[in-house]
Amino acid sequence: MRALVTGGGGFLGSAIARQLKAQGFEVISFSRHPHPHLKASGIPQFQGSLEDREPIIEATRGCDIIFNVAAKAGIWGSYESYHAANVTGTRNVLDACRVHGITRLVHTSSPSVVFDGTDMEGVDESVPIASHFVSHYPKTKAMAEQLVLDANSPTLATTALRPHLIWGPGDNHLVPRILEKGRKGQLKRIGSRPCKVDSVYIDNAAEAHVLAANRLQPGSPNAGKAYFISNGEPLPVWDLVNAILACDSQPPVKGSVPTWLAYGAGAFLEFVHGAFGITREPRMTRFVAKELSSAHWFDISASEKDFGYRPRISIEEGLARLKASLQSQG
C-alpha cells in the first residue's frame, strides 16, 4: 500500500508516517519544507502548499490512501490564510483522490469544530457542529471536515478524526508553549472551576489514524463519519498543565484571573492587534479564555466500536516519556 501523509514532517504527521512504515506501507510526505528526520527514515518528500492544486495532484499519483494531516493551526492569523490552508487545501486533496481514483481518505479534524464556549462533558459524535466561532481555526476546520464527510461515496471512503490536545516528546506546539510561558511567569489560571479536559498522547493519536485507515473502505462502518480521539482520561485542565510543567521541573501555576476578565482582555487584544496589523499572537484571545475555563471531554466509544481504537499509553506513562525526553535534551 502506498500512503501519502500531508504535513508528514509535523508532530502528528511524522508519528503517523512512522507507524505506517512499521506496518509495511510505502510512505510519502507532502509538506511545505523538507525535513531531515524524514530523509533519515527513507521517506520520500514532496514540497508544496496544499492551497496550490497541481503539486498535491502530482504527489498523490499512484497512491492508495491519503492522510490529510496538514493544516494551519494556532489562534491568530488572517481568515484568508486559515481558509487557504484548511479549506482550499482540503478541496485540493479531495480533487487528487478523484483524479487518481484513490479510494480512501483519513482526515485530521479537531474537537473545536463542535465547541460553542460552554461545558461539553462526555458528549459523543451526535453533538452538532457549532453555529458560531470566535476563532478562524475551528471555523475553517469545521468547513474542511464537512467537505470530507460530504465527499464519502461508493468510490471514495472518507473519515475524519478529532484528536484533542495532542502532546508528547517531539511536540512543537502545546508543550513548548506551556513550558515557555511557565518560565516567563505568564501562566495564570482562568476562573476557579476545576474543569476537566481531554488530551491524547502522540502515539495514541497516530495509532487511531492507522487503525481507522485499516478499517476504512467504501461502505465500512467508519466511512462518512467523524470520531473524537483522546486518551479517555479527562483531567482538570490546570492539573494537566502543571503535570507538563513538572516534567521540566517547573513549579505549578498558582495565580488566577476571573474568566470574564480574561475573555474581555482577549477581545481587547484581538481588536488592537487587528486594528494595527500586529501579526504576532496576542497573549490572550477569546477562544483561549473559553477553552481554559470550560470543560470539554468526549465519549470515544464509537472509535473503539468502529475501528478498534483503545489508547495504549496512559497519561502517566506519557508524562514519564515526556520527562525523559526533556531531560535528554538538557
Which residue range is the domain that position 215 belongs to? 2-168+200-230+297-312
Whether 98 is covered by a domain: the verdict is yes
Integer Cα distance of 138 and 110 in angstroms: 7
Integer Cα distance of 95 and 126 in angstroms: 28
C-beta separation of 97 from 63 below 8 A: no
Q: Which residues belong to the active site?
A: 137
Whether 129 is covered by a domain: the verdict is yes
Q: Where do we find the cell 497516530?
A: 206
Whether pLDDT at 329 is above 90 = no
Which is more confidently placed, 235 or 73? 235
Tell me what pLDDT residue 7 has. 95
Tell me the per-residue pLDDT of 175-210, one tens digit each, with 9 for 90 and over. Answer: 999 999 999 988 899 988 889 999 999 999 999 999
Please give the DSSP secondary-structure letter assigned to residue 111: G
- Alpha-carbon distances, residue 251 vs 85, 184, 315 (angstroms): 37, 12, 19
Whether pLDDT at 284 is above 90 = no
Whether pLDDT at 330 is above 80 = no
Tell me what pLDDT residue 76 has. 82
Q: Which three cell numbers stand for residue 304?
A: 473503539
Integer Cα distance of 198 and 119 in angstroms: 12
Whether 291 is covered by a domain: the verdict is no
Mean pLDDT calculated for residue range 246-263: 91
Integer Cα distance of 220 and 62 in angstroms: 23
Tell me what pLDDT residue 272 has. 87
Tell me what pLDDT residue 20 has. 97
Whether pLDDT at 325 is above 80 = yes
Tell me what pLDDT residue 289 has. 84
Whether pLDDT at 116 is above 90 = no
Residues 6+ apart with CB under 8 A from 139: 82, 133
Tell me the per-residue pLDDT of 26-64, one tens digit each, with 9 for 90 and over. Answer: 999 999 999 999 999 899 999 999 999 999 999 999 999
C-beta separation of 235 from 196 below 8 A: yes
Tell me what pLDDT residue 197 has. 95
Total domains present in the chain: 1
Mean pLDDT calculated for residue range 80-85: 94
Tell me what pLDDT residue 158 has. 98
Whether 249 is covered by a domain: the verdict is no
Kindly state the percentage of the chain with pLDDT values over 90: 79
Q: What is the CA radius of gyration of the chain?
A: 19
Integer Cα distance of 212 and 106 in angstroms: 7
Whether 64 is covered by a domain: the verdict is yes
Whether 308 is covered by a domain: the verdict is yes
Whether 258 is covered by a domain: the verdict is no
Which is more confidently placed, 287 or 324? 324
Tell me what pLDDT residue 71 has. 94
160: domain CATH number is 3.40.50.720
Choice among 105-114, 131-140, 160-169, 307-316 with the minimum mean pLDDT: 131-140
Mean pLDDT calculated for residue range 305-311: 97
Closest by CA to 31, choosing from 8, 62, 4, is 8
Tell me what pLDDT residue 227 has. 98
Whether 239 is covered by a domain: the verdict is no
Q: Kindly report the pTM of this predicted structure.
A: 0.94
Return the bridge partners of 166, or none: 200
| Residue-averaged pLDDT of the chain | 94
Tell me the per-residue pLDDT of 4-25, one tens digit each, with 9 for 90 and over. Answer: 999 999 999 999 999 999 999 9
Tell me what pLDDT residue 274 has. 83
